[in-house]
Structure 1
Amino acid sequence: MEGGFMATEFILEAVTPERLVFEKPVEFVKLRTEGGDIGILAKHINYITPIGAGEMLVREKDNKEMTYYLEGGFLEVRQDKVVILGVNIVEATKAEAERMAREVAIERAKKQKIKEDQDILGSKKRIQNNLSRK
Protein backbone atom coordinates (compact mmCIF):
# COMPACT_ATOMS: atom_id res chain seq x y z
CA MET A 1 0.00 0.00 0.00
CA GLU A 2 1.20 3.49 -0.88
CA GLY A 3 -0.10 6.44 1.11
CA GLY A 4 -3.11 4.49 2.43
CA PHE A 5 -4.36 3.12 -0.90
CA MET A 6 -3.35 0.33 -3.27
CA ALA A 7 -1.01 0.97 -6.23
CA THR A 8 -3.91 0.12 -8.56
CA GLU A 9 -5.98 2.91 -7.03
CA PHE A 10 -5.84 6.68 -7.18
CA ILE A 11 -7.71 9.46 -5.40
CA LEU A 12 -10.69 10.82 -7.31
CA GLU A 13 -11.93 14.22 -6.16
CA ALA A 14 -15.22 15.50 -7.59
CA VAL A 15 -15.98 19.16 -6.90
CA THR A 16 -18.71 21.59 -7.99
CA PRO A 17 -18.80 25.33 -7.30
CA GLU A 18 -21.11 24.60 -4.35
CA ARG A 19 -19.42 21.63 -2.66
CA LEU A 20 -17.02 18.73 -2.53
CA VAL A 21 -19.14 15.88 -3.92
CA PHE A 22 -16.66 13.17 -2.93
CA GLU A 23 -12.98 12.38 -2.52
CA LYS A 24 -12.14 8.68 -2.40
CA PRO A 25 -9.77 6.02 -3.70
CA VAL A 26 -10.97 4.42 -6.94
CA GLU A 27 -9.57 2.00 -9.52
CA PHE A 28 -11.12 3.47 -12.67
CA VAL A 29 -13.14 6.42 -13.93
CA LYS A 30 -14.73 6.90 -17.36
CA LEU A 31 -16.26 10.17 -18.52
CA ARG A 32 -16.91 12.26 -21.61
CA THR A 33 -14.43 14.93 -22.62
CA GLU A 34 -14.94 17.35 -25.49
CA GLY A 35 -12.70 15.04 -27.54
CA GLY A 36 -14.63 11.86 -26.69
CA ASP A 37 -14.84 9.35 -23.85
CA ILE A 38 -11.77 8.73 -21.70
CA GLY A 39 -10.99 6.00 -19.20
CA ILE A 40 -8.45 6.61 -16.46
CA LEU A 41 -6.54 4.03 -14.43
CA ALA A 42 -3.85 4.51 -11.78
CA LYS A 43 -0.57 6.03 -13.02
CA HIS A 44 -2.27 7.72 -16.00
CA ILE A 45 -0.22 10.41 -17.72
CA ASN A 46 -0.81 13.97 -16.49
CA TYR A 47 -3.64 15.52 -18.46
CA ILE A 48 -6.01 18.51 -18.41
CA THR A 49 -9.10 18.80 -20.63
CA PRO A 50 -12.59 20.29 -20.75
CA ILE A 51 -15.34 17.77 -20.06
CA GLY A 52 -18.80 17.54 -21.57
CA ALA A 53 -22.19 16.55 -20.25
CA GLY A 54 -22.84 12.85 -19.76
CA GLU A 55 -22.37 9.77 -17.66
CA MET A 56 -19.38 9.34 -15.36
CA LEU A 57 -18.65 5.76 -14.32
CA VAL A 58 -16.56 5.29 -11.17
CA ARG A 59 -15.22 1.85 -10.22
CA GLU A 60 -14.11 1.38 -6.63
CA LYS A 61 -12.22 -1.62 -5.28
CA ASP A 62 -14.02 -4.98 -5.41
CA ASN A 63 -15.54 -3.82 -8.75
CA LYS A 64 -18.21 -1.71 -7.02
CA GLU A 65 -19.46 0.73 -9.68
CA MET A 66 -21.20 4.07 -9.18
CA THR A 67 -22.75 6.19 -11.93
CA TYR A 68 -22.94 9.98 -11.84
CA TYR A 69 -24.29 12.61 -14.18
CA LEU A 70 -21.64 15.20 -14.97
CA GLU A 71 -22.58 18.51 -16.58
CA GLY A 72 -19.41 19.92 -18.06
CA GLY A 73 -16.34 21.36 -16.40
CA PHE A 74 -12.67 20.38 -16.37
CA LEU A 75 -10.65 17.23 -15.71
CA GLU A 76 -7.16 17.31 -14.25
CA VAL A 77 -5.15 14.09 -14.03
CA ARG A 78 -2.08 14.12 -11.78
CA GLN A 79 0.24 11.29 -10.75
CA ASP A 80 -1.94 9.78 -7.99
CA LYS A 81 -4.98 12.05 -8.08
CA VAL A 82 -7.72 12.97 -10.53
CA VAL A 83 -9.72 16.14 -9.95
CA ILE A 84 -13.04 16.78 -11.65
CA LEU A 85 -14.25 20.37 -11.47
CA GLY A 86 -17.83 19.98 -12.61
CA VAL A 87 -20.65 22.42 -13.20
CA ASN A 88 -22.98 19.81 -11.70
CA ILE A 89 -22.26 16.27 -10.45
CA VAL A 90 -25.09 14.06 -9.19
CA GLU A 91 -25.34 10.36 -8.46
CA ALA A 92 -27.64 8.78 -11.03
CA THR A 93 -28.48 5.51 -12.71
CA LYS A 94 -27.08 4.99 -16.20
CA ALA A 95 -30.52 5.72 -17.70
CA GLU A 96 -30.92 8.90 -15.61
CA ALA A 97 -27.45 10.12 -16.63
CA GLU A 98 -28.25 9.52 -20.31
CA ARG A 99 -31.62 11.29 -19.96
CA MET A 100 -30.03 14.32 -18.25
CA ALA A 101 -27.33 14.52 -20.94
CA ARG A 102 -30.03 14.45 -23.65
CA GLU A 103 -31.96 17.23 -21.89
CA VAL A 104 -28.84 19.41 -21.74
CA ALA A 105 -28.13 18.74 -25.43
CA ILE A 106 -31.73 19.63 -26.35
CA GLU A 107 -31.56 22.90 -24.37
CA ARG A 108 -28.27 23.84 -26.04
CA ALA A 109 -29.74 23.04 -29.47
CA LYS A 110 -32.81 25.19 -28.73
CA LYS A 111 -30.62 28.12 -27.68
CA GLN A 112 -28.50 27.71 -30.81
CA LYS A 113 -31.64 27.61 -33.00
CA ILE A 114 -32.99 30.78 -31.37
CA LYS A 115 -29.67 32.53 -32.00
CA GLU A 116 -29.64 31.39 -35.63
CA ASP A 117 -33.25 32.56 -36.10
CA GLN A 118 -32.37 35.96 -34.63
CA ASP A 119 -29.36 36.22 -36.96
CA ILE A 120 -31.54 35.38 -39.98
CA LEU A 121 -34.20 37.92 -38.97
CA GLY A 122 -31.54 40.58 -38.49
CA SER A 123 -30.07 39.84 -41.93
CA LYS A 124 -33.51 39.98 -43.58
CA LYS A 125 -34.22 43.31 -41.90
CA ARG A 126 -30.90 44.77 -43.09
CA ILE A 127 -31.58 43.57 -46.65
CA GLN A 128 -35.08 45.09 -46.60
CA ASN A 129 -33.71 48.38 -45.26
CA ASN A 130 -31.02 48.46 -47.97
CA LEU A 131 -33.57 47.67 -50.71
CA SER A 132 -36.00 50.34 -49.50
CA ARG A 133 -33.25 53.01 -49.68
CA LYS A 134 -32.70 52.43 -53.39
Structure 2
Amino acid sequence: MAKKIRLDVVTPEKVAFSKEVNMVIARTTAGDVGILPGHAPLVGTLGIWPLRIMEEEGETQLSLMGGFIEVQPDKITILGGTVELVEEIDVARAEAAKERAQRRLKGDVVAADTVTDELRAEIALKRAIVRLKVYEFYQQRRR
Protein backbone atom coordinates (compact mmCIF):
# COMPACT_ATOMS: atom_id res chain seq x y z
CA MET A 1 0.00 0.00 0.00
CA ALA A 2 1.31 3.45 -0.95
CA LYS A 3 2.30 5.88 1.75
CA LYS A 4 -0.31 8.56 2.50
CA ILE A 5 -0.38 12.15 3.67
CA ARG A 6 -3.18 13.76 5.68
CA LEU A 7 -5.07 16.53 3.88
CA ASP A 8 -7.34 18.94 5.75
CA VAL A 9 -9.11 21.62 3.70
CA VAL A 10 -10.98 24.09 5.89
CA THR A 11 -12.88 27.35 5.48
CA PRO A 12 -14.32 29.66 8.13
CA GLU A 13 -17.63 27.80 7.75
CA LYS A 14 -16.70 24.14 7.40
CA VAL A 15 -14.22 21.33 7.03
CA ALA A 16 -14.52 20.83 3.27
CA PHE A 17 -12.26 17.78 3.00
CA SER A 18 -10.32 15.69 5.51
CA LYS A 19 -8.71 12.43 4.47
CA GLU A 20 -5.48 10.50 3.98
CA VAL A 21 -4.46 10.92 0.32
CA ASN A 22 -1.62 9.89 -2.01
CA MET A 23 -0.79 13.29 -3.52
CA VAL A 24 -2.04 16.87 -3.77
CA ILE A 25 -1.46 19.30 -6.63
CA ALA A 26 -2.13 22.93 -5.78
CA ARG A 27 -1.60 26.20 -7.63
CA THR A 28 0.31 28.62 -5.47
CA THR A 29 0.92 32.22 -6.45
CA ALA A 30 4.48 31.09 -7.32
CA GLY A 31 3.33 28.17 -9.52
CA ASP A 32 2.02 24.62 -9.23
CA VAL A 33 3.29 22.35 -6.48
CA GLY A 34 2.89 18.59 -6.21
CA ILE A 35 2.96 17.29 -2.66
CA LEU A 36 3.71 13.70 -1.73
CA PRO A 37 4.16 12.13 1.72
CA GLY A 38 7.46 13.25 3.24
CA HIS A 39 7.44 16.63 1.43
CA ALA A 40 9.65 19.35 2.91
CA PRO A 41 7.85 21.92 5.09
CA LEU A 42 6.27 24.68 3.03
CA VAL A 43 3.96 27.64 3.55
CA GLY A 44 2.40 29.43 0.60
CA THR A 45 -0.41 31.49 -0.79
CA LEU A 46 -2.86 29.68 -3.07
CA GLY A 47 -4.31 31.00 -6.29
CA ILE A 48 -7.80 30.61 -7.67
CA TRP A 49 -7.62 27.17 -9.27
CA PRO A 50 -8.91 23.60 -8.84
CA LEU A 51 -7.23 21.68 -6.04
CA ARG A 52 -6.28 18.24 -7.37
CA ILE A 53 -6.30 15.35 -4.90
CA MET A 54 -4.93 11.94 -5.90
CA GLU A 55 -6.29 8.88 -4.11
CA GLU A 56 -6.31 5.13 -4.74
CA GLU A 57 -9.75 5.49 -6.36
CA GLY A 58 -8.58 8.25 -8.72
CA GLU A 59 -8.55 12.02 -8.78
CA THR A 60 -10.82 14.35 -6.83
CA GLN A 61 -11.02 18.06 -7.55
CA LEU A 62 -12.23 20.89 -5.35
CA SER A 63 -13.05 24.41 -6.44
CA LEU A 64 -10.57 26.52 -4.44
CA MET A 65 -10.81 30.31 -4.43
CA GLY A 66 -7.40 31.13 -3.01
CA GLY A 67 -6.14 30.75 0.52
CA PHE A 68 -3.08 29.44 2.27
CA ILE A 69 -1.29 26.10 2.38
CA GLU A 70 0.93 24.68 5.06
CA VAL A 71 2.81 21.47 4.32
CA GLN A 72 4.51 19.22 6.84
CA PRO A 73 6.04 15.84 5.93
CA ASP A 74 2.91 14.01 7.16
CA LYS A 75 0.16 16.65 6.83
CA ILE A 76 -1.20 19.31 4.47
CA THR A 77 -3.48 22.03 5.80
CA ILE A 78 -5.29 24.32 3.41
CA LEU A 79 -7.15 27.37 4.68
CA GLY A 80 -9.48 28.56 1.96
CA GLY A 81 -11.93 31.41 1.84
CA THR A 82 -14.26 29.47 -0.44
CA VAL A 83 -13.95 25.77 -1.22
CA GLU A 84 -16.63 23.82 -3.09
CA LEU A 85 -17.14 20.14 -3.80
CA VAL A 86 -18.58 19.43 -7.24
CA GLU A 87 -22.06 18.82 -5.79
CA GLU A 88 -22.00 22.30 -4.22
CA ILE A 89 -21.33 24.08 -7.53
CA ASP A 90 -24.30 25.94 -8.99
CA VAL A 91 -23.46 25.61 -12.69
CA ALA A 92 -26.11 28.04 -13.94
CA ARG A 93 -24.91 30.67 -11.47
CA ALA A 94 -21.26 30.11 -12.48
CA GLU A 95 -22.11 30.43 -16.18
CA ALA A 96 -24.08 33.64 -15.52
CA ALA A 97 -21.19 35.06 -13.47
CA LYS A 98 -18.76 34.20 -16.25
CA GLU A 99 -20.89 35.95 -18.88
CA ARG A 100 -21.40 39.00 -16.64
CA ALA A 101 -17.65 39.30 -15.96
CA GLN A 102 -16.81 38.92 -19.65
CA ARG A 103 -19.28 41.72 -20.52
CA ARG A 104 -17.69 43.98 -17.90
CA LEU A 105 -14.21 43.26 -19.22
CA LYS A 106 -15.31 44.03 -22.79
CA GLY A 107 -16.67 47.37 -21.59
CA ASP A 108 -20.35 46.53 -22.14
CA VAL A 109 -21.04 47.50 -18.52
CA VAL A 110 -19.70 50.85 -17.33
CA ALA A 111 -19.00 51.51 -13.65
CA ALA A 112 -18.08 54.68 -11.77
CA ASP A 113 -14.72 53.18 -10.73
CA THR A 114 -13.52 51.45 -13.90
CA VAL A 115 -10.21 50.18 -12.47
CA THR A 116 -11.83 48.57 -9.42
CA ASP A 117 -14.65 47.18 -11.52
CA GLU A 118 -12.17 45.65 -13.98
CA LEU A 119 -10.22 43.97 -11.17
CA ARG A 120 -13.42 42.64 -9.61
CA ALA A 121 -14.57 41.35 -13.00
CA GLU A 122 -11.24 39.56 -13.56
CA ILE A 123 -11.51 37.84 -10.18
CA ALA A 124 -15.17 36.96 -10.76
CA LEU A 125 -14.25 35.50 -14.15
CA LYS A 126 -11.46 33.36 -12.63
CA ARG A 127 -13.80 32.08 -9.92
CA ALA A 128 -16.50 31.17 -12.44
CA ILE A 129 -14.00 29.42 -14.71
CA VAL A 130 -12.65 27.34 -11.80
CA ARG A 131 -16.14 26.24 -10.81
CA LEU A 132 -16.91 25.26 -14.39
CA LYS A 133 -13.55 23.43 -14.76
CA VAL A 134 -14.26 21.29 -11.70
CA TYR A 135 -17.81 20.57 -12.89
CA GLU A 136 -16.55 19.63 -16.39
CA PHE A 137 -13.87 17.36 -14.89
CA TYR A 138 -16.59 15.29 -13.22
CA GLN A 139 -18.80 15.33 -16.32
CA GLN A 140 -15.93 13.88 -18.39
CA ARG A 141 -15.30 11.17 -15.77
CA ARG A 142 -18.94 10.05 -16.07
CA ARG A 143 -18.64 9.46 -19.84
> In terms of Rg, which structure is larger?
1
**What is the percentage of aligned positions where both structures have the same residue?**
32
Alignment map for 1:106-121 (pairs within 5 Å): 113-115=114-116
Q: 1:13 aligns with which of 5, 8, 32?
A: 8
How far apart are the structure 2 equivalents of 1:60 and 1:115? Answer: 40
- Residue type of the alignment partner of 2:11: T
RMSD of equivalent CA atoms: 3.1
How far apart are the structure 2 equivalents of 1:29 and 1:86? Answer: 15
Structure 1 contact 44–79 (Cα < 8 Å) conserved: yes
- Residue type of the alignment partner of 1:12: L
- Residue type of the alignment partner of 1:21: A
Secondary structure class of the residue paired with 1:114? helix
Moved over 3 A (4+): 109-113
C-alpha distance after superposition, 1:58-94 (max 9, x if no partner):
01124x211111001100001200000001111239x
What residue is the counterpart of 1:66 in the other structure? 60
Structure 2 contact 2–22 (Cα < 8 Å) conserved: no
- Residue type of the alignment partner of 1:82: I
Q: Is 2:74 the counterpart of 1:85?
A: no
How far apart are the structure 1 equivalents of 2:49 and 2:117? Answer: 25
Q: CA deviation at 1:36?
A: 1.1
Structure 1 contact 7–42 (Cα < 8 Å) conserved: no
> TM-score scaled to structure 1, two decimals?
0.65
Secondary structure class of the residue paired with 2:115? helix
How far apart are the structure 2 equivalents of 1:46 and 1:13? Answer: 15
Give the length in aligned residue pairs: 103
